[in-house]
Amino acid sequence: MRGKPEYGKEGQRLAVLLSDGIDGFCGGSIVNEKWVVTAAHCIKPGVKITVVAGEHNTEEIEPTEQKRNVIRAIPYHSYNASVNKYSHDIALLELDEPLMLNSYVTPICIADREYTNIFLKFGYGYVSGWGRVFNRGRSASILQYLKVPLVDRATCLRSTKFTIYNHMFCAGFHEGGKDSCQGDSGGPHVTEVEGTSFLTGIISWGEECAVKGKYGIYTKVSRYVNWIKEKTKFT
């Protein structure tokens, strides 16, 4: 992510790192003690996923870190990577042991469908991750965050030859320079509402990153909140 180092504990407590045991490759958000939500395209056949919560600097072993193995991955039922890798790009990960919730490891708030949609239309969201700090560059070792403006649908559609479905939205800067990037996928797009962070999007894809005239594409969480709550028994 081409942004700023993470702001205090807020991003650290909400975002998690997905690792193959050696390297981080995606992000995610804590739904509750046993479940994480991420992008479906982050799930690779044969790759065992480790979730690292309470992470800040990937080059240090920190006392706030909690590592859990993923025992089950559930992509959204309409997701089909062989048809479109990024359509319905959302998945749930079940952890082998519950996370110990504390000030560094906290579930993200998920509102109902109507309110999640309203919050997204506030116009600005925060994204965070450990992905590349510029296109084809190195990954960030310290969690980065970025405030991104929502981009209207007409502008979004004009910016790309690829299909932007109704369950996706665009966010970012026309002038480029700041964006989510490779390795940030699956991480949260959150909207702050009176000091509380609500999940409004999942970082999904883009054409390169931080390029002028291109935007980050996100999965619209409002479309999936009922599914998330049903699968995770989240009440």
CA–CA distance, 60 with 182 (Å, rounded to integer): 22
Which residues are tagged catalytic?
41, 89, 185
CA–CA distance, 92 with 55 (Å, rounded to integer): 20
Tokens of 146: 């970025």
Please report where in the chains the tokens 């919050």 appear, as a residue.
Answer: 119
62, amino acid identity: E
CA–CA distance, 41 with 38 (Å, rounded to integer): 9
Between 225-232 and 113-120, two packed helices, what is the crossing angle to 10 degrees?
130
Tokens of 61: 């072993």
Degrees to nearest 5, angle at CA 154 with 149 and 155:
50
**DSSP strands (E only) in 130-185:** 144-151, 168-171
Closest CA to 14 of 103, 90, 91, 89: 103
List, in order, residues 6 or more apart from 83 with CB less than 8 Å away: none
Tokens of 77: 């039922």
CA–CA distance, 188 with 27 (Å, rounded to integer): 8
